[in-house]
A and B are shown apart, each in its own frame.
Chain A
Amino acid sequence: MALVYPLLLGLFLAPLLGGDLRRLADLRLRATRLIYLALTLQLVAFPVGAMPWQPSDTTAVVLWLASYACLAAATGINIRLGGMPLIAAGLVANLAAIVANGGHMPVLPAAMRAAGRSYHVHFNSAAASAPHLPWLVDRWAVPDWIPLANVFSVGDVLIALGGVLFPLVATGACRLPASRAAGAEARLSPR
Chain B
Amino acid sequence: MVRWQIRYIRAMIALGGFAALLVDAGAGLRWK
Q: B2 within 8 Å of A by Cβ?
A: no
Per-position contact with A for B1-17: 1 when CB-CB < 8 Å, else 0?
Answer: 00000111011011101
Tell whether, in the assembled complex, residue A48 and residue B31 are in contact, meaning their CB atoms are under 8 Å apart. yes
Q: Which residue of chain B is the closest to A104 with respect to CB atoms?
A: B27
Q: A91 within 8 Å of B by Cβ?
A: yes
CB under 8 Å from chain B, chain A span 81-134: 87, 90-91, 94-95, 97-98, 105, 107, 117, 122-125
Give the complex CA separation of A48 and B15 in angstroms: 23
Please give, as numbers and ranges, the residues of chain B lying within 8 Å of A188 by CB-CB distance.
none
Q: Contact partner of A36 among B8, B10, B20, B22, CB < 8 A?
A: B20
Q: Which of B15, B22, B25, B32 has the most CB of A within 10 A?
A: B25
Give the complex CA separation of A46 and B27 in angstroms: 12
Tell whether, in the assembled complex, residue B25 and residue A94 are in contact, meaning their CB atoms are under 8 Å apart. yes
Majority secondary structure of chain B interface residues (helix, strand, loop or mixed): helix
Please give, as numbers and ranges, the residues of chain B lying within 8 Å of A107 by CB-CB distance.
28
Q: Contact partner of A27 among B8, B14, B23, CB < 8 A?
A: B14
Known contacts A1-B23, A22-B7, A25-B8, A7 near B28 by CB under 8 Å: no
Tell whether, in the assembled complex, residue A125 and residue B22 are in contact, meaning their CB atoms are under 8 Å apart. no
Tell whether, in the assembled complex, residue A35 and residue B32 are in contact, meaning their CB atoms are under 8 Å apart. no
Known contacts A67-B24, A163-B22, A152 near B29 by CB under 8 Å: yes
B5 to chain A, nearest CB (A): 10
Known contacts A24-B14, A25-B11, A123 near B31 by CB under 8 Å: yes
Q: Which residue of chain A is the closest to B26 with respect to CB atoms?
A: A3
Q: Which residue of chain B is the closest to A149 with respect to CB atoms?
A: B29
Please give, as numbers and ranges, the residues of chain A lying within 8 Å of B6 by CB-CB distance.
25
14 A-B pairs besides A3-B25, A6-B22, A25-B7 with CB distance below 8 A are: A3-B23, A7-B22, A24-B11, A25-B8, A25-B10, A25-B11, A27-B14, A67-B24, A90-B25, A90-B26, A94-B28, A97-B27, A117-B32, A159-B25
Give the complex CA separation of A152 and B21 in angstroms: 17
Please give, as numbers and ranges, the residues of chain A lying within 8 Å of B18 by CB-CB distance.
7, 29, 163, 166
